[in-house]
């Protein structure tokens, strides 16, 4: 950034001010751009700045943004006031997004490795040289077996181009990052009601139960939902009860913070359900009409989950469980929100399912102020489309985890090492497992350094992340402000379509993803003889986007892609009232969402040729298309039987309990008194591995001491700032202590996103010379004035893999550790993981899979289950 420092500071204040406005009182503070309907004037130049709408992608919430430019340089980012979810506000990270473009260490040219892997020696080559070398490697791999070409992506918002690329190559070896993200939440929900997420109507709720979501700082839909949480709280006197192992800022904003013992949310939720059913506070009509169980069945099943039982496991007092059950069931409307707190454990899917039962049994589903289905929109793909690969790949659908519909990516390095899938070419896209996965450098770093297992590693990235640093070839991708992408996110109750568009010219020789992928295919199949080129017939990113958006009904009439280029989002539901911060229709009234989606009536055309079964199910062509209730033909829920499946029969097929249930983590039961559970969490101003080089954010937060309770600190004899050593079954680290009452006494918790050893000079603090001056950063004024010298400590080396046998999710918050005062040989920043021990952890966790020996022992209630030999693999196995 070549802005004078004064101006930058002024900007920071404005940015932080508007961010805070979203979180506290949108009515009182309103941004100038919102008053001006999205316009902005340069305070020094006094010229109107060019404003280009786009979608933020600093994190994955996809807020509507406007980039303001002077001389093709982004000088400011703000929320798009026309965007129904964002309503003119971005968070601190979104305000800082131009740093992705102007990162002084950004990769701008194709680079070829010349030293050993990870040595940091690169040669700049031309695009043609890069594509020729890559096409040669792909050619050879295709001759052997297309599945030896692997692609692993992290955040993929390409709208289908990655999928098209791998299908064009005929490879099924496509892996994502979802198992380290929130997959057990998704798998806990999908078979029950269809979608993998809920959209709580916080703005209109009177009561919220929050299990392990830090929505005011992170979570899905952070910026749009934190606005609604604030509204509900201020306008509606909504009560919030938050269960978390630590006092997050969301817990702090709540009426009650309940420090629950890790991984026991499911037990608490079941006991709350027990009290509701015992005291007859359930919504019997909703249960009998819209679920696949009866009230009587539910009551019988929940009898076992007493508050006394849950209290012993979770530490939450019996009276608290009983009181919250009564409050939740009798305050209408009420809603629930969960995020990774309950889900990121060995039995995370069971926890999520137990939590979501609460709005279901109280009938708070799809009501104003309740627990709503997500609302999103789709777009068509360019034609023709490549077909499915000829054969499946073990890595994308591991048979040991048949219910894990979002894959089990964190076990992939072990499976590759075992030879489950040979790899010739490995592509990485927006993914940094060497930093973000359990085992990080000790596991993924070891895999990527092994040229036998990974002969050719290609990174498509603008940044030298820890995984890119180990690549053989780097193709410079465009950061989000330079590329075309379609968007839609159910981050409020109004569905929308949006775009990212290049707001400024791409820098250096960067090429955006779909153009880069097209160029690879064209190099492989220059004359179309291999049948690949036909799927990549478009001029540029914009041309590709026309295929998505020029024919969407409604949008087409409004102008298709041209409308989106101008507004960034469609439809525009009304205008933002800068005084209230809400969107109003033409009459000046706040726009209202549509509720009761499952009760929408099927049309006469839908009903033509349909049959209504005795139980009310409406079928057509052998498929349930709705349910008849109260004489109405309703669409129902997007599940196979159009009902909410409280009983998930597919889980029983694999020996899991189909009903809401809870399983303790066996190794938590045998913990010794001086052991703790290691947890991690996200900070409001950082995003995983990718914001450590954003200076405005790094200035706010750059280190991550370990939170511990005063009880722990007293036992160890440490105070805030003292060095402590944390030993886990797979490694150890040394960091500073932060002593606070705001954490469960049995937990030690470390924020993620710090302690980089790659990612440029700022993230690694390698801008200083040995003498301590800023000689390595002198070429850039932004590096020359960095005043901090602590970059934090990376925890992932010492976290072992744990896989939920149902959802496939990583149990991030399950590790039992020993914390001691640091010894004479311990150095701040030490972080060491051991490959052999990580392999042991991998083998141990596979024992819980449905094919593993521990599984049956863990499920005595499923004694009638016949065993894996007798069950067939479900169709598809996962997506
Ligand atoms: N600022 C910021 N926002 C983000 C992200 C980011 O990196 N930074 N990342 C985005 C992504 S990818 C995701 S998946 C979401 C994640 O959003 P969240 O799930 O809301 O955030 P986490 O910090 O992963 O975990 C939430 C909370 O779970 C708590 N917790 C740990 N164990 C337990 C437990 O056993 N029970 C309960 N009740 N709580 C527990 C943690 O202390 C933490 O406060 O955020 C998204 N938004
Ligand atoms: N200990 C611990 N670790 C965690 C978690 C936790 O709770 N605890 N949470 C996890 C969660 S929720 C998630 S979602 C994962 C995220 O894990 P990842 O998806 O691996 O992490 P990110 O940091 O989002 O981005 C990965 C990489 O993408 C590259 N990148 C950034 N921008 C661009 C771009 O515009 N184009 C391209 N091509 N590349 C880009 C950068 O190199 C960056 O390092 O991390 C997980 N890691
Ligand atoms: S939450 Fe912040 S970083 Fe994430 S999309 Fe929204 S504005 Fe951007
Ligand atoms: Mo995530």
Q: For residue 649, how far is its CA from the centre of ligand 3 (angstroms)?
A: 38
Q: Is the same domain home to 702 and 824? A: yes
d(CA 236, CA 258): 22
**Shortest-distance atom of ligand 1 to CA 682:** 23
In this prediction, residues 93-122 reach a mean pLDDT of 97
Q: Is the pLDDT of residue 872 over 60?
A: no
Termini Cα distance of the chain? 42
pLDDT digits (tens, 9 = 90+) for 497-525: 999 999 999 999 999 999 999 999 999 99
Domain co-membership, 456 together with 422: yes
pLDDT score of 775: 57
Q: Is the pTM of this model over 0.85?
A: yes
Residue 778 has what pLDDT? 59
Helix (H, G, I), strand (E, B) or coil at 175: strand
CB 692 within 8 A of CB 685: no
Write down the pLDDT at residue 773.
59
Instruction: Please check whether residue 736 lies inside any domain of the structure.
Output: yes
Compute the radius of gyration of the chain from its Cα atoms: 27
Quick check: 417 pLDDT over 90?
A: yes
* Mean pLDDT for the stretch of residues 228-234: 95
Hey, is 757 helix, strand or coil? coil
Query: For residue 409, how many other CB atoms are within 10 A of its CB?
Result: 27
What tokens were used for 825? 């040989």
Please tell me the predicted confidence (pLDDT) of residue 769.
60
The binding-site residues of ligand 3, defined as CB within 6 angstroms of any ligand atom, are: 56, 58-59, 61-63, 90-91, 93-94, 222-223
Indicate if 293 and 341 belong to the same structural domain: yes
Domain boundary among 327, 357, 372: 372
What percentage of residues in the chain have a pLDDT greater than 70? 93
For residue range 694-710, what is the model confidence (pLDDT) as tens digits? Answer: 999 999 999 999 999 99
Is 77 contained in some domain?
Answer: no
Q: Give the H/E segment covering residue 723.
A: strand 723-728
- Two tokens at 745? 């006494």
Is the Cβ–Cβ distance between 439 and 445 less than 8 Å?
no
Contact 746, 676 (CB under 8 A): yes
Clarify whether residues 739 and 708 are in a common domain.
Answer: yes
Is the CB–ligand 2 distance for residue 431 below 6 Å?
yes
Q: Is the peptide bond before 571 cis (omega within 30 degrees of 0)?
A: yes
Same domain, 633 and 677: no
CB-based contacts of 148: which residues, under 8 Å, 6+ apart? Answer: 141, 171, 173, 421, 422, 423, 424, 425
- Kindly state whether residue 841 falls inside one of the protein's structural domains: no
Indicate the SS3 state at residue 53.
strand
Q: Is residue 102 in some structural domain?
A: no
CA–centroid distance, residue 682 to ligand 4 (Å): 10
Assess whether 825 and 689 both reside in one domain: yes
Contact 637, 605 (CB under 8 A): no
Q: Which residue range forms the structural domain that includes residue 610?
A: 597-653
- Per-residue pLDDT band for 770 (boundaries 50, 70, 90) equals low
Average pLDDT over residues 273-284: 98
In whole angstroms, give the CA distance from residue 320 to residue 44. 58
Phi, psi of 456 (to 5 degrees): -145, 115
* Distance (Å, whole) CA 52 – CA 482: 12
Whichever domain contains 410, its CATH number is 3.40.50.740
Q: Is residue 852 part of a domain?
A: no
Please tell me the predicted confidence (pLDDT) of residue 860: 72
Residue 355 lies in a domain: yes
Residue-level pLDDT at 20: 37
Residues forming beta bridges with residue 820, ordered by sequence position: 725
783: confidence class by pLDDT, cuts 50, 70, 90: confident
Residue whose pair of structure tokens reads 């983590």 in the numeric block: 665
Nearest CA to ligand 1 atom 31: 341
**Which residue in 820, 587, 786, 825 sits closest to 700, CA to CA?**
786
810 C-alpha to ligand 2 centroid (Å): 15
Dist CA 304 CA 287 (whole Å): 19
Residues 704 and 774 in one domain: yes
Indicate the pairing of strand 122-124 with strand 111-113: antiparallel
Atom in ligand 1 nearest the alpha carbon of residue 685:
1
Identify which has the larger pLDDT, 251 or 780: 251
Residue 162 CA to ligand 1 center (angstroms) comes to 27
Total number of domains in the chain? 5
Q: Which of 343, 372, 401 is the last residue of a domain?
A: 372
- Hey, which residues does 576 pair with through a beta bridge? 583
Quick one: DSSP state of residue 443?
A: I
Ligand nearest to the CA of 746: 1
Instruction: List the structure tokens of 76.
Output: 């400011």
Cα–Cα distance measured from residue 804 to residue 311, given in angstroms and rounded to the nearest whole number = 24
Q: Give CA–CA dist 133/149, Å, rounded.
A: 15
Average pLDDT of every residue of the chain:
93
CB atoms within 10 A of CB 699: 15
Residues 271, 310: contact at Cβ < 8 Å?
Answer: yes
User: Which residue lies with its CA nearest to atom 22 of ligand 1?
Assistant: 681
pLDDT tens-digit map of 196-217: 999 999 999 999 999 999 999 9
Query: Do 240 and 274 belong together in one domain?
Result: yes
Residues 177 and 210 in one domain: no
pLDDT, position 38: 80
d(CA 400, CA 98): 43
pLDDT digits 0-9 by tens, 743-752: 999 999 999 9
Q: Give 219 or 473, the one with higher predicted confidence.
A: 473
**Which pLDDT score is estimated for 24?**
41
Q: How far apart are CA 279 and CA 281, in angstroms?
A: 6
Ligand 2: distance of its center to the CA of 753 in Å?
9
Atom 43 in ligand 1: residue holding the nearest Cα: 681
* 51-69: pLDDT as tens digits: 999 999 999 999 999 999 9
Give the separation between CA 590 and CA 177, rounded to whole angstroms.
Answer: 38
Domain CATH code at residue 282: 3.40.228.10
Percentage above 90 pLDDT, the chain: 89
Joined tokens for residue 295: 């009230």
Opening angle at CA 824, ends 820 and 829, nearest 5 = 70
Confidence of residue 774 (pLDDT cuts 50, 70, 90): low
pLDDT of residue 22: 40
Is residue 866's pLDDT more than 60? no
**343 and 261 co-located in one domain:** yes
In this structure, which ligand is nearest to the CA of 243? 1
Residue written as token pair 């969490």:
681
Please report whether residue 611 resides in a domain. yes
What pLDDT was estimated at residue 32? Answer: 77
State how beta strands 747-751 and 675-681 pair. parallel
pLDDT band at residue 720 under the 50/70/90 scheme: very high
Encode pLDDT of 624-642 as tens digits. Answer: 999 999 999 999 999 999 9
Length of the chain: 879
Q: Can you give the pLDDT at residue 39?
A: 85
Is 23 domain-assigned?
yes
Q: Are residues 397 and 500 in the same domain?
A: yes
**End position of a domain, from candidates 519, 551, 583:** 551
Given the CA of residue 223, which atom of ligand 3 is nearest to it? 1
Q: Exposed, middle or buried: residue 809 (CB in 10 Å: 0-12, 13-18, 19+)?
A: buried
Residue 585 CA, distance from chain mean position: 32
Nearest residue to 446 via CA among 429, 427, 467, 472: 467
pLDDT tens string 545-555: 999 999 999 99
Q: Are residues 627 and 706 in the same domain?
A: no
């Amino acid at each position: 950034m070549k802005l004078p420092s004064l101006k930058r500071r002024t900007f920071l204040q404005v940015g932080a001010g508007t961010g805070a406005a979203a979180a506290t009182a949108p009515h009182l503070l309103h941004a100038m751009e919102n008053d001006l309907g999205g316009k902005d004037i340069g305070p020094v130049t006094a010229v109107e700045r060019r404003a280009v709408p786009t979608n933020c992608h600093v994190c994955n919430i996809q807020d509507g943004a406007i980039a303001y430019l002077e001389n093709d340089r982004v000088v400011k980012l703000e929320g798009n006031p026309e965007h129904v979810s964002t309503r003119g506000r971005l968070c601190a990270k979104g305000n800082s997004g131009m740093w992705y473009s102007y990162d002084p260490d950004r990769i701008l040219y194709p680079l070829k490795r010349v030293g050993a892997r990870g040595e940091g020696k690169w040669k700049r080559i031309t695009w043609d040289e890069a594509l020729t070398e890559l096409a040669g490697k792909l050619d050879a791999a295709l001759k052997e077996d297309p599945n030896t070409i692997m692609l692993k992506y992290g955040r993929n918002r390409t709208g289908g181009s990655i999928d098209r690329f791998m299908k064009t190559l005929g490879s099924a070896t496509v892996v994502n990052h979802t198992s380290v993200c929130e997959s057990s939440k998704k798998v806990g929900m999908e078979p029950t009601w269809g979608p993998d997420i809920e959209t709580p109507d916080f703005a209109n709720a009177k009561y919220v139960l929050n299990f392990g979501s830090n929505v005011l700082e992170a979570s899905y839909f952070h910026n749009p939902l934190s606005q609604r949480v604030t509204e509900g709280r201020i306008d509606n006197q909504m009560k919030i009860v938050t269960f978390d192992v630590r006092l997050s800022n969301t817990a702090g904003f709540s009426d009650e913070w309940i420090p629950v013992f890790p991984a026991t949310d499911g037990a608490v939720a079941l006991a709350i359900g027990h009290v509701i059913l015992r005291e007859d506070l359930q919504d019997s009509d909703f249960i009998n009409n819209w679920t696949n169980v009866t009230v009587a069945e539910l009551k019988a099943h929940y009898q076992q989950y007493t508050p006394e039982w849950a209290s012993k496991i979770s530490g939450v007092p019996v009276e608290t469980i009983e009181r919250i059950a009564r409050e939740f069931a009798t305050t209408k409307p009420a809603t629930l929100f969960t995020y990774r707190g309950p889900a990121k454990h060995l039995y995370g899917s069971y926890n999520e399912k137990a939590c979501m039962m609460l709005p279901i049994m109280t009938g708070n589903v799809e009501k104003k102020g309740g627990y709503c289905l997500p609302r999103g929109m789709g777009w068509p793909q360019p034609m023709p489309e490549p077909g499915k690969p000829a054969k499946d790949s073990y890595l994308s659908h591991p048979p040991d985890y048949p219910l894990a519909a979002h894959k089990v990516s964190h076990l992939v390095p072990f499976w590759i090492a075992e030879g489950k899938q040979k790899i010739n070419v490995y592509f990485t896209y927006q993914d940094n497992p060497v930093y973000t996965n359990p085992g990080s450098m000790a596991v993924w770093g070891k895999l990527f350094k092994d040229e036998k297992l990974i002969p050719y590693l290609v990174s498509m990235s603008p940044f030298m992340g820890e995984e890119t640093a180990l690549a053989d070839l780097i193709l410079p991708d465009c950061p989000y402000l330079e590329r075309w992408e379609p968007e839609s996110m159910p981050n409020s109750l109004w569905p929308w379509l949006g775009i990212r568009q290049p707001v400024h010219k791409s820098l250096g020789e960067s090429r955006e993803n779909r153009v880069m992928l097209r160029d690879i295919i064209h190099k492989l199949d220059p004359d179309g003889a291999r049948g690949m080129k036909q799927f990549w017939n478009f001029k540029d990113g914009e041309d590709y986007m026309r295929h998505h958006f020029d024919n969407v009904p409604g949008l087409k009439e409004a102008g298709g892609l041209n409308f989106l280029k101008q507004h960034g989002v469609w439809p525009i539901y009304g205008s933002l009232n800068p005084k209230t911060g809400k969107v109003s229709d033409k009459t000046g009234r706040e726009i209202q969402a549509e509720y009761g989606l499952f009760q929408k009536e099927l049309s006469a055309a839908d009903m033509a040729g349909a049959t209504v079964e005795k139980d009310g199910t409406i079928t057509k062509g052998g498929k349930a298309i709705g349910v008849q209730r109260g004489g109405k033909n309703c669409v129902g829920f997007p599940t196979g039987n159009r009902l909410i499946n409280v009983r998930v029969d597919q889980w029983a097929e694999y020996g899991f309990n189909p009903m809401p249930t809870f399983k303790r983590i066996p190794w938590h039961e045998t913990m010794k008194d001086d052991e703790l559970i290691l947890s991690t969490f996200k900070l409001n101003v950082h995003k995983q591995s990718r914001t450590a080089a954003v200076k405005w954010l790094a200035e706010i937060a750059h280190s991550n001491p370990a939170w511990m309770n005063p009880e722990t600190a007293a036992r160890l004899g440490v105070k805030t700032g003292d060095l402590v050593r944390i030993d886990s079954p797979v490694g150890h680290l040394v960091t500073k202590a932060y002593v606070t009452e705001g954490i469960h006494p049995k937990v030690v918790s470390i924020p993620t996103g710090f302690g980089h050893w790659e990612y440029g000079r700022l993230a690694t603090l390698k801008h200083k010379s040995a003498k301590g001056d800023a000689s390595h950063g002198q070429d850039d004024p932004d590096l020359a004035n960095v005043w901090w010298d602590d970059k934090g400590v990376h925890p992932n080396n010492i976290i072992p893999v744990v896989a939920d046998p149902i959802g496939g999710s990583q149990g991030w918050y399950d590790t039992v550790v020993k914390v001691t005062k640091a010894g004479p040989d311990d150095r701040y920043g030490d972080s060491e993981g051991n490959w052999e021990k990580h392999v042991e952890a991998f083998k141990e966790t596979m024992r819980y899979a449905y094919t593993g020996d521990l599984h049956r022992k863990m499920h005595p209630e499923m004694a009638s289950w016949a065993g894996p030999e007798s069950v067939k693999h479900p169709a598809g196995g996962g997506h």
